[in-house]
Every structure is written in C-alpha cells, then in structure tokens.
A = this chain, B = another copy of it.
C-alpha cells in the first residue's frame, strides 16, 4: 500500500541545502509554496534553517516520526542515508539523486545495495534518478517534487517514466485550467514500480482517469496483470515513447536499462483495455473529457452548432474517426421545429443559428438526450457578441449534470472577454476545446473506451485433443542435439500433435518409399529435400512442385540427390495443392511477455504491403477472428467478385492452436506456418519454419 507515500504526515529532506537552486532547497520551497499540510524537516548538518524552516543535523534529530524522506545528496553517500532512514523508521524514501543504474554497472551495483538495505528495514524506495510525487488533495497538498507546476485539485492522475514528459503533461493540464489528483515519476523504479502506483490509484475514488507515459516495461506480464485489473475499473490513457527505430534507440540510450519491446507495448495496451495515444496533446485533451463526462454507449453523435464552417470540420473529423452522425427521428425534428428559430436546421448537425439563445440550446440538448439513436453530444459554441452566452453556458452545465450522455464543446471565444461564460463552463465540467478537430478527437476517445469496456474478450479455447508431451519431446531432442531448427519429420509431427491440419505428407529416404508415399498421398505431389544443411530449399533447387507421376518422382529425386550429397538427406513427399489463398500464421517469442502471434495473407501482401496483424498469446477465439477482419485485404477472405472466400473457422482454429502450442512450449523462438493454403471449405499448412 502506497498510502503513506502519497499522503505523508511528515517529510524530511536529506540534502536540504541553503543554496536556492539545489534540489533539496527547491523541494523545501515547493512544499511550502504548495502549503503542505504535514511537517517539513530539512536535514542539513551545517545550517540551522532552510527556507525559514528549522533544519536538523541528522534524521535522528527529528523529534517526530518521518513518513517520507527525500534524498538528494551525491549517490555514494546514499546507502548510509538509507540505512539511517531505516533505523529512524522512515516508511518511504524518494531518491532524487542520479548516479545509479542509468550510468552503468557501477551505478547498478550501488542501486542494488540501496535496495537491499531498504529491504532489511522494510523501507520502500521511490526512484532513484527521479522527480517524486504530488498529491493535490486540499487536506494533504504534498508537493514532493522539484518541478515547477502547481496543479489545482482535480480527477486526473499522471504517472510518467520520463520526468520530462510527465512535467510537460502536468504543465499542459495547468495551462488548460484543468485540475489533477496525483502525479508520480519514479525514474529508475528500483523498488516501487509504475504497476504498483497505478494499482493504488485504481482504488482511489477521486482519480477518474489515469494518464501514463512509458518507454518500455521491465515486467510486461506484471504490467498486464495490473492493467487488466485497473482498466476494468477506470480509464487508463497511455502513450509510449520510442515507437520508431530511431526513437527506441534514443530511449535505450537514456533510460535506466529498460529494454524497449517495440510493437508489443501497444499490443499490451490494446489487450488489457488501455487506450493508446500517439500524441501528448490528444492524450491530455482526451483526459479532460474523461475527468468529467460519462462514457457513451455507442458511436452515434448528435451535433449542435451556431456556426457553419466548424460544423463541417467537426463532421469531417468525427466521420474520419469512425463515429456516426445519424439523422434524427421525426419526433425529435418536430420538437426542434417547435422550439428553434424557423430558419434553424433541424437535421443532424442541428444548426441553432448564431442568434440562438439559452432556450434554443436547451431544446437541442434535450432533443439529443431523449433521442434513442444518439449516444453523445458535440456542441459548437461560438460566442456571438449579441447573445446572452452566460445563460447558454448554464443550460449546458445543467444538462451535463444529468450525466446521461457525454457532452463535448468546441468553445470558440476570447476567454479574456467572455470570462463569466468560460467560468460557468469550467466549473460545470464541460470539456472545452479550441477547435472542432480536437473536440472530435476527445469524443472519439471516450467512444473508443466505451467500445473497449463493452467488448467481448472471447474464449480462451484449451484444446484437449493435443499431445503436448509428444511435441515437447521433439523439441527437447532438438535442443539436446543443439539444433536451432527441426527436421521435416519433426515439424510435421508437431503439427500432428497439435492437430494443426497439414497437407498430406510423408518423409522418405528412398525412391521406392517416395513412389509408395506419392501413391498413397495421391498425385500431384511436391517433393522437398530435407537436411539440416539445406537452409533455403527453394532457392537452391530443393523443391519441386506439381509432380504428376512416378517417373517424375524418380527423376527429381535423382537430381536432388546429386545436388545435395549429404548423409542426412531425406525427402518430404507432400500433396500438391493448387488454387486457394496463401495465408501466414506466425509466432515470435518476446522477452518477458511470452509470444506474439501474427496473421496475414501471403505473397505480396506480406512482402510489399506488410499487411499483417499481431496479438499477444494466448489468443482467444474473438481475438483470432479480429485478426482476420483487421488486415487491409480482409475482404478477400470473404470472397469477392466471383473469387471464393476461405474457411475462416479453420484459420481461426489454426491461430488458436498455434497460440496454445507456443504457450505450452516457450522454447519456440520463432515459428512460421507459411504458406497456409485456404479454400472455401478446408485449410492446410504446406510449409513450416521453426526456430528454437
């Protein structure tokens, strides 16, 4: 429990210098400036006071209990300081100083030392190399941080791996006039993790939305567990830095050794129900809406406007973002005709006209609140100099307080002139935006979260008809003989063990066996040379397709035998399949996370269009089905223009079985079922590559 960290009754500052620009001094100043409700104990062996507060020579001289201690002295002195805090009975320590894991092995050793000392005393460490925490609660007002933005109380809590990013996000909320609840930036996170912080906020009633910035995870699975739990309770909006190769390089060169794990961060967000952003401004502006508005039940927006152009832009943007702007019912239209100006437009968008007064807005809002096929309300409100805008604002906040459907406002005004109207909207919790685009984006974020929250996760099918131990044995054998791949025989036995349908196959050594196999399988067949020494079979003439008779079988085998003179040479005889669609299912191990499962269409779709999708294993039936529908060429799977579609259930089955296989056998590093030939009625794997 982090209660004492975020609600400390007393804070000591070890390293509270009298130098005005030192970190310890700035923290002392910030606590005073923010009107911290607890006791402040600067620790300074030389000074009697810091910023007018009585200082103590050592932590032991503090007459009272210390809940939280800041340490901002040089890193080499910190183990001793932590030891002393332990002895004093301090409960939490924020180590602001740098010089730990982020500077290399020596720093890492120092960090480990600090952690082990802290453990001995049961003290929890926040940091090192970090900013700290802020609690805006009027009863606490803990500004345990050296930054410079002093948030008003509110309902948004922010946690950032990068203090720089966290501080700027905090500043943005401040500039927007929006309050915050908690702030935390824990730097190297040697003990208290972001997971622990978010979990704590998950139970905090006053935190309505959590904003998160990360550059990677040290414990992806732990993060996911927490995220499932908290995202079910309240919205988490998140962004990750380092999503491009260049950005990731910049990230690993500056953070305390947290490996960026590329693509999977966004997959983790998606799987656990966290809303992902790629832009801080959009994330902040969305958070403002989450802090005061309910989540819409669907994506159908009703618009109210008092000006033309911005309604057009709002419409463009909402539609682009996948929202719908349905026509209104006759009932609503009649109600509007009776209650708006005659020249008003009673379509959706409802144009109340620039001269509209409070009753007109109220009628439009009431109509949309009552309208069954509307889930949320977007308002363009430009303040004409000839309208009583204050009463319009009061109607908006009044309707918003009903909390029936979210209201978002593109509020177009000079706030320095329309001060009262602006205050009414702000106090009434109407999220106000400068432009229609951002208002639309915020509404789209609310809508996305509603969709995530109500989505079906699907079933994690556990196939009973698999032979795990058989597959396991095959991989163990390969490992024992230090191979990184499997023979054809082994690969197809693994598929058989997991009931993944493959084109009929047999591995043979001699002509006679091959002929017999081909007859059993049925012509035409494919013959593939199989040996540990043959890597890219098809590039070196190790694959022959569409073989129609025994004679050709013999000819081809002779040719291959001549070409590949290797003692372990075998031949895979396999049914040749013509037509159908080429698909790919793949799996790739991700450090600390398990496996990613990939699906896509073969050929140019993978090579040229990179039209593939990923999910984190284990994959449910609904996730597998989503994979099929979310590739760009998804329509082709349904069949189009006379071409037949594919057996989707068969493909979904293969995805789920592959997911189970790699989850059962973490030894698998990479696995590609490529191609899978899919017909309208059946699906077959015809080639496999495995790396262990």
Contact = CB atoms under 8 A, between A and B. Distances in A.
A213 interface: yes
Given A162-B312, A608-B640, A281 B437 contact: yes
A149 B434 CA distance: 14
Interface stretch (A73-81, A492-500, A631-639): A631-639
A320 interface: yes
A436 B435 CA distance: 20
B244 A168 contact: no
Contact of A604 (B175, B310, B640): B640
Contacts of A280: 313, 435-437
A429 interface: no
Contacts of A431: none
A242 B437 contact: no
Nearest to A243: B316
A112 interface: no
A523 interface: no
B414 A148 contact: yes
A146 interface: yes
Interface stretch (A89-97, A250-258, A481-489, A649-657): A250-258
Contacts of A254: 308, 311-312, 345, 351
A391 interface: no
Nearest to A253: B345
Nearest to A634: B608
Contact of A608 (B242, B414, B633): B633
Assign chain A's interface to a size class: 35 or more
Most buried by B among A245, A417, A436: A436
A262 to B, nearest CB: 12
A555 to B, nearest CB: 24
Interface string A438-463: 10000000000000000000000000
B385 A21 contact: yes
Most buried by B among A166, A250, A280: A250
A692 to B, nearest CB: 27
A74 to B, nearest CB: 14
A510 interface: no
A382 B310 CA distance: 34
A313 B246 CA distance: 10
Interface string A615-643: 00000000000000000110110001100
Contact of A247 (B247, B313, B347, B608): B313
B414 A247 contact: no
A308 B161 CA distance: 10
A385 B175 contact: no
Given A250-B315, A417-B148, A164 B308 contact: yes
A601 to B, nearest CB: 10
A311 B250 contact: yes
A384 to B, nearest CB: 9
A607 B215 contact: no
Given A320-B244, A382-B164, A434 B172 contact: yes
Contacts of A113: none
A152 to B, nearest CB: 13
B281 A434 contact: yes
A161 B412 CA distance: 17
Interface in A585-611: 604, 607-609
Contacts of A281: 434-435, 437-438
A347 B250 CA distance: 10
B242 A316 contact: yes
Contacts of A39: none
A199 B244 CA distance: 42
B213 A309 contact: yes
Contacts of A417: 148
A437 B241 contact: no
A287 interface: no
A474 interface: no
Interface string A207-224: 000000101000000000
A163 B149 CA distance: 37
Interface in A385-426: 385-386, 412-415, 417
A437 to B, nearest CB: 5
Given A434-B175, A609-B632, A165 B604 contact: no
A26 interface: yes
Contacts of A21: 385-386
Nearest to A284: B435
Interface string A192-215: 000000000000000000000101
A390 to B, nearest CB: 14
A626 to B, nearest CB: 18
Nearest to A150: B414
B213 A168 contact: no
Contact of A308 (B162, B175, B315): B162
A313 B280 CA distance: 9
A386 B21 CA distance: 5
Interface string A304-334: 0001111111011001100001000000000
A165 B414 contact: no
A171 interface: yes
B382 A168 contact: yes
A243 to B, nearest CB: 5
Contacts of A363: none
A273 interface: no
Contacts of A434: 168, 171-172, 175, 281
Nearest to A387: B21
A241 B635 contact: no
A313 B241 contact: yes
Given A148-B385, A213-B309, 14 more contacts: A162-B308, A164-B382, A241-B313, A242-B316, A243-B316, A247-B319, A250-B349, A253-B347, A281-B434, A281-B438, A604-B633, A607-B635, A607-B640, A608-B635
10 contacts: A26-B386, A148-B413, A160-B309, A164-B380, A246-B315, A254-B308, A254-B345, A279-B437, A281-B435, A281-B438
Q: What 10 pairs between A and B have smallest CB-CB spacing? A: A162-B309, A164-B307, A21-B386, A165-B309, A247-B316, A241-B312, A254-B308, A244-B319, A247-B315, A164-B309
